Structure 1
Amino acid sequence: MSTIPSPPQTDLTPLPATSPTRRRRPRAAPVRHIALPFGSLLLFLLLWQLLAASGTWSETLVPPPAKVWSAFIDVSTTHDGVRGYNGTTLIEHLGISLRRIALGAGIGIALGVAFGLVMGTVGWVRSLFEPWITFLRTLPPLAYFSLLIIWLGINEEPKITLLAVAAFPPVAVSTTTAVTAVSQSLIEAARALGGSRWDVVKDVIVPSALPETLTGIRLAVGVAYSSLVAAELVNGLPGIGGMVKDAANYNNTPVVLVGIIAIGISGLVIDGLLLRLERAVVPWRGHV
């Protein structure tokens, strides 16, 4: 009598689960991100101090960091019966200039976005205005500031207008370029689904052009900031640019450096805020 062979024995012991190797972000990266700028700042201050102590130039031209710090304290507080610089503290000078930039650059940015959308969607409008915008973009602010003073006087109007004119071209150019680069297949698909012209602009063109438009806004704010001192050349006090100009008239180099540093630091803060806004509004940028 034959026996039925039994099936081969297999080892059913489960294999040990292998966990995927997780790439841990190096902990040194955040430390390095903070240490490198801080180290470069210390190195800059050290070189500055050595240069000032070498005696190559007088303190009027290259004041030591301690003297600039003392000037910062003086223009930020009330000392010897004098409040700040010309009766206004540093933070107040900076606040007045930031208000001018917000108003002037805001007008220029709004007009730039509107013109960019129109020029990007209507061909004849682009052909009509693009050469003039390019012409305006190549002009330095001082080239037409005197004309604005003749037209508008010496009060706030020429300053605001100068900052608006300086901020307008970067936004208009970047928005126009972004709109013309929108994929035609997306536009045709929206129209095929019954979208009106306004729906195409609102739901397709604007979201597609938004990343480049925000980059243009960052550039526009930077251009407006670089035009700040020019805008406050005439009747700029109170104002941080006016403070720098007035201090330069009296060879008050420490106050000039205080104003320059204040402009630079506030510019870095504003650019960082705009960058965070860009990441929040267009989180897909750099990931698609």
Structure 2
Amino acid sequence: MSTPVEAIEPTPVAEPNRKPRRPWTSSVTTVGLPVLSVIAFLALWQVAAASGTWSETFVPFPSTVWHAFVNTMTTHDGVRGYQGYLLWEHLYMTLRRVLVGVIIGVGLGVILGLAMGSVTWLRSLLEPWLTFLRALPPLAYFFLLVIWLGIDEAPKITLLALAALPPAAVATTAAVVAAPVGLVEAARALGASRAQVIRDVVVPSALPETFTGIRLSVGMAYSSVVAAELFNGIPGIGGMVKDASNYNNTPVVLVGIFAIGFSGLIIDGLLRAAERRAVPWRGKV
């Protein structure tokens, strides 16, 4: 009778020495470095303004810009903000125009991208026009929009929509074309209709690139907002910047630029958070 063999436990292999991760290190990298870069930027700005190389009209002191910011946020000496509107009211009008323009442009761009990516002849027909529109600077056709639509809200929103449309359309088209052929064929083999293939296979695989296109669309709309508010742009950040530049009011111009930039950073952060929630499989498949 054979004697049962005792199970031999494997000898644990010693892992190489690993330095323990320190949670505070990532916090310093995430928060400390941006703060340090801002401090360095302000210091260089202060040095440049104090050097006297440039006139204060061209390079005002940071404190001067801060006072301009406070003035645009409050009522002082009987003057309410800038041109009768507080800074947040200017920013609200600009963000509202950008939001409406981006919703229209991105909505049309995504639909157009899905259609162009799914239908070859439609892509061949529309792609040259899309490239043509993408190559045009928004200011080139804004005056034409003013002639056609007047100087109210219609040309501004149309300009922002036209600026936002190409990035979303191009990104969605490329993502649909690059959809995994194996998954598409497998879905068709299982009896899925064309609409079901698009809904269950093509759209999920295209979502990551579509979100990238949406972020680019928002950036394009933001870069066009000053042009969109050239005429009758007050209240609006772009209109405020344009009006202040007419009087060489550099501090107010810088306040407007910072307002656009910081609000753009916040919106991009929100889009990144939405992307992480909507497309949790990005980078994992």
Same fold judged by TM-score > 0.5?
Answer: yes
| Partner secondary structure for residue 195 of structure 1 | coil
**CA distance in 1 between partners of 2:124 and 2:142 (Å):** 27
Task: Kindly report structure 1 stretches of 4+ aligned residues shifted beyond 2 Å.
Answer: 14-27
Aligned to 2:235: 238
Aligned to 1:26: 22
Does residue 73 (structure 1) correspond to residue 70 (structure 2)? The answer is yes
Aligned residue among 162, 169, 172 for 1:165: 162
Greater C-alpha Rg: 1
CA deviations over 1:196-218 (Å, ceiling 9, x no partner): 11100100000010100000000
What 5-or-longer segments of structure 1 have no aligned partner? 1-6
Give the Å deviation of 1:16.
10
Task: Name the TM-score, length of structure 2 as normaliser.
Answer: 0.93
Aligned to 2:91: 94
Aligned residue among 53, 63, 70 for 1:56: 53
**CA distance in 1 between partners of 2:43 and 2:180 (Å):** 53
Letter in 1 for 2:90: H
What 5-or-longer segments of structure 2 have no aligned partner? none
Aligned to 1:110: 107
**CA distance in 2 between partners of 1:33 and 1:108 (Å):** 33
Aligned residue among 248, 259, 275 for 2:272: 275
Out of 149-158 and 183-192, give the one that drifted further.
Answer: 183-192
**CA distance in 2 between partners of 1:63 and 1:81 (Å):** 25
Letter in 2 for 1:26: R
Q: Percent identity over the alignment? A: 64
CA deviations over 1:55-83 (Å, ceiling 9, x no partner): 11111111000000000000001111111
**CA distance in 2 between partners of 1:182 and 1:35 (Å):** 40
CA deviations over 1:113-147 (Å, ceiling 9, x no partner): 00000000011111111100000000000110010
Task: Name the TM-score, length of structure 1 as normaliser.
Answer: 0.92
Give the Å deviation of 1:29.
1.9
Give the Å deviation of 1:15.
10
**CA distance in 2 between partners of 1:16 and 1:287 (Å):** 33
Letter in 2 for 1:178: A
CA deviations over 1:201-250 (Å, ceiling 9, x no partner): 10000001010000000000000000000000111000000000000001
